Amino acid sequence: MLDAAVGFAAGAACAAALYYVVAQRLTRRSDTEPALVQDPETWAARHHGARASVDPGYYAFYSSVAGAITTNVALMAVPIDDHCIVRGHAVFDTCSLVGGRMYRLQIHLDRLFASAKAARLPLPFGDDEAANRSRMTAIVRATCKASGKSDCDVRFWLTAGTGNLGVTPAGCRPSFFVLCFGGLPALKTAALDGSIAEVTIPESVVPLKPPHLAQLKSNNYLLNALTMMAAAERGGTFGIGVTSSGYLTESCVLNVIVVGKDGALRTPPFEGILCGTTVRRVFELARQHLVGSAVVGSAVVSSAVVGSAVVGSRWALLSDVRQEPIRADEARDAAELMLVAGDTHVCPITTLDGHKIGNGKPGPVFAALKRLLEEDAGAASGEHIEAL
């Protein structure tokens, strides 16, 4: 049965590619003049052929414009007059599908609604937030089911919608999109490599976001992109922003965690940066499981000890968990340093601006937090919603 399905899929892909080649020949005018295509099938075939050689890892897509879900990558499209493109007037959030459960979906929807309110976006399914939450939950569940995956990332967008190329949402109908996909390439690479080299990015190189934009997940991630690009140019990975006063802010799409040699786990205040869902969960789990009266310095506790522990026990790895301003020079002198995002991603930093962090290897607090997050995501908790 599986071989037949694979054979059918391969045959369909070959047929689509052949159709694309024929369509190109029929519609080509010259090497410089684009073809005029009016037939939806030809248009879809050209899209499919252009992307057939690359697997983008997109599994299922819902569009409120179509009112339907597709698993055909060539059909995963947003209208050109949607204001997420026209003006960047949109917000988004991302949850994780773990073991067939939508991990902390409602927490992410909380932030989506808060972002939408801050962006003055109308809701897509009437004015009632509870009704929208119920409808969105059902749509996300259906999209996850259509993906055929038990583990993937799930991103959803709420946009000012389609209708015109104006500045405000006036005359537009709001849109809601959902995409099940294989995760961000940089986060997957960092997870495979085990640790990362990181650099700080001064405010003079990439300016800080205005507080209003920094505290909502808008569709405008230009400064985030510039931060990561600047980091790559300097030998880092994601980059960590630093204010003109020398204090840490956040990474391009991650929050920063510093473990001091005194055993205190800290992260910068959320004023002026995104209130990350992952770092908030990290703090909850750290307070429950890692803070003990008999604190052992993180430099002397091996990750093998952490690996043998079970969630529910208290590991005396931390003296305190708190949120406060952190200077960049404190981070360079930390016992452990890491970035967190995407519900379960914890990236240990072993060098910062060329300075070795701790002993230059991922530490025990990292190992404990990684295990706690993974087990929390895999738990059959009432907070998680069955999707499959």
pLDDT in tens, 295-308: 444 333 433 344 43
Q: How far apart are CA 309 and CA 249, in angstroms?
A: 33
> Would you identify the CATH topology of the domain 56-183?
D-amino Acid Aminotransferase; Chain A, domain 1 (3.30.470)
pLDDT in tens, 55-109: 789 999 999 999 999 999 889 999 999 999 999 999 999 999 999 999 999 999 9
Mean pLDDT of 152-164: 97
Assess whether pLDDT exceeds 80 at residue 251: yes
Confidence label for 50 from pLDDT (cuts 50, 70 and 90): confident
Residues 274 and 341 sit within 8 Å (Cβ to Cβ): no
Alpha helices in 28-73 (DSSP H): 40-51
Q: Which two tokens stand for residue 354?
A: 């060329």
Tell me phi and psi for residue 244, to 5 degrees. -65, -20
Assess whether pLDDT exceeds 90 at residue 137: yes
Question: What is the average pLDDT score of the chain?
Answer: 87
Give me the pLDDT at residue 307, please. Answer: 41
Q: How far apart are CA 35 and CA 44, in angstroms?
A: 14
Give me the pLDDT at residue 30, please. Answer: 54
Q: Which two tokens stand for residue 238?
A: 């994601």
Q: What is the pTM of this model?
A: 0.85
Assess whether pLDDT exceeds 50 at residue 227: yes
pLDDT in tens, 298-339: 333 433 344 434 344 456 899 999 999 999 999 999 999 999
Q: Which two tokens stand for residue 81?
A: 């007059």
Report the candidate in 285, 245, 296 with the shortest Cα–Cα distance to residue 268: 245
Q: Which range, of 186-200, 226-240, 363-377, averages the lowest pLDDT?
A: 186-200
Give me the pLDDT at residue 267, please. Answer: 98
pLDDT in tens, 344-375: 999 999 999 999 999 999 999 999 999 999 99
> Would you identify the CATH topology of the domain 187-378?
D-amino Acid Aminotransferase; Chain A, domain 2 (3.20.10)
Mean pLDDT of 250-259: 97
